[in-house]
Homo-oligomer: A and B are copies of this chain.
Amino acid sequence: MTRRERARELAGGRPLVSGDLTTVTWLTGLATDIEYGPSPFTVAPLVLLDPDGSLLAFVSEDEAGGVGEGIETRTFPGFAVEDVDRSALATLLAREALTCAREVAADVASLPGALVAALLGDGVEIVDVSSELRAARAVKDADEVAAIRASTSIADAGQKAAREAAAGGRTELDVWSEARAAMERAAGGRVPLLADLVSGERTAEVGGPPSDRVLHDGDLVLVDLVPRLDAYWSDSCATLSVGEALPEMRRAHDVARAALERAVAMCRPGTRAADVDAAARGVIAEGGGTYPHHTGHGIGTSFHEEPRVIPDTARVLEEGMVVALEPGSYGDRWGVRVEQVLLVTDGEPEILSGHDLSL
């Protein structure tokens, strides 16, 4: 089944409406600008999946071109000199399209308040299908895997540039700027980017944004780059050393790589995500370490989605899932983490990441 077919199935014969950007992007391909928060020239787009399988996107005129082929759009004004109440217009468009509905399936938390008020006022029952949508998004179609491959190559370019830039006397921000510039050069344009870039004692804090801290010989630098190319995210992490690393840093790093390898090898259809999590934590614990975060997670139209690889979860891996695994080990004065993205296949997992994992 394609993602549209899965979405149709989970809606159970009802129209499905979503204002969750990750779901809108998943169904329509539309990747909106996300780097500067809310814009007065647009409101969040909405998607409506009809029970007959057709899709309708409610979107500003400026963004309509980003909606995939064969998907109908109903637009409200984008950039305009005059005053426009885009929120009211978007609500009106969606409400009109749902005139005959008695029940709609939705991730209700994501819907704009004005639309919910209008639908409830019309006597429409809203059935929440948020968790079903999250589960449906976890398995990728072939075009989604291709898109994640492309965004992973951008992450690789960033990791390479960060490794080249990290040197004594430079700041975390210097390394960051060069990594980002390399990614944007590789992409040919702006790249939305979530990242940890911390060095020295900051690596003990697991993550954080780049600062003006100056790198010194003996520092570790933890670089976790999460770029979005077009509609799809990737993820990657490496830890590298400036000058010579202490022997205990090298040991912890070797253990983290071993934990990653062990976890990667387990990612086959039918494996419980909790077992992958336990295996990775086990390798780290044998080496005397620990980490306070998840072992991994899916990526797609969001940077952290199902399947979450955590303890005590019933999730089971399936062919077509794309998973980022990122075990680490953190002490009082420094920490290490390594991460790769993989595709769950019917055989061995395919590692999509191509960046250097050495210290």
Contacts and interface: CB of A to CB of B under 8 A. Distances in A.
Interface of A: 19-22, 34-41, 43, 79, 81-83, 87-88, 91, 106, 108-117, 120, 126, 171, 173-174, 176-177, 180-181, 184-185, 188-190, 192-194, 209-212, 226, 228, 292-294, 302-305, 308, 310-313
Nearest to A291: B81
A176 B20 CA distance: 31
A38 B302 contact: yes
Nearest to A25: B37
Contacts of A193: 35-36
B209 A303 contact: no
Contact of A212 (B79, B108, B188): B188
A210 B112 CA distance: 32
Contacts of A228: 36-37
Contacts of A177: 177, 180-181, 184
A194 B39 CA distance: 10
B82 A35 contact: no
A190 B209 contact: yes
Nearest to A34: B37
Protomer copies: 2
A259 to B, nearest CB: 16
A171 B190 CA distance: 13
A22 B40 CA distance: 10
Contact of A41 (B109, B192, B304): B304
A211 B293 CA distance: 37
A60 to B, nearest CB: 14
Contact of A114 (B87, B108, B310): B108
Given A36-B194, A184-B173, A310 B20 contact: no
A210 B43 CA distance: 24
Given A108-B113, A113-B113, 10 more contacts: A22-B38, A36-B194, A37-B228, A83-B313, A91-B109, A106-B113, A108-B117, A174-B181, A177-B177, A188-B211
A226 B36 contact: yes
20 contacts: A21-B37, A35-B35, A37-B228, A38-B302, A40-B305, A41-B304, A43-B109, A79-B293, A81-B292, A81-B311, A82-B310, A83-B313, A108-B113, A110-B113, A173-B188, A174-B181, A176-B190, A177-B181, A188-B211, A189-B211
The residue among A39, A181, A313 with the most chain B CB atoms within 10 A of its own CB is A181
A20 B303 CA distance: 23
Given A36-B193, A312-B82, A111 B109 contact: no
B114 A109 contact: yes
A35 B192 contact: yes
Contacts of A173: 181, 184-185, 188-189
Nearest to A206: B79
Nearest to A312: B82
A278 to B, nearest CB: 13
Contacts of A120: 116-117, 120
A359 B184 CA distance: 27
Nearest to A292: B81
A39 B176 CA distance: 21
Contacts of A308: 83
Contacts of A302: 37-38, 40
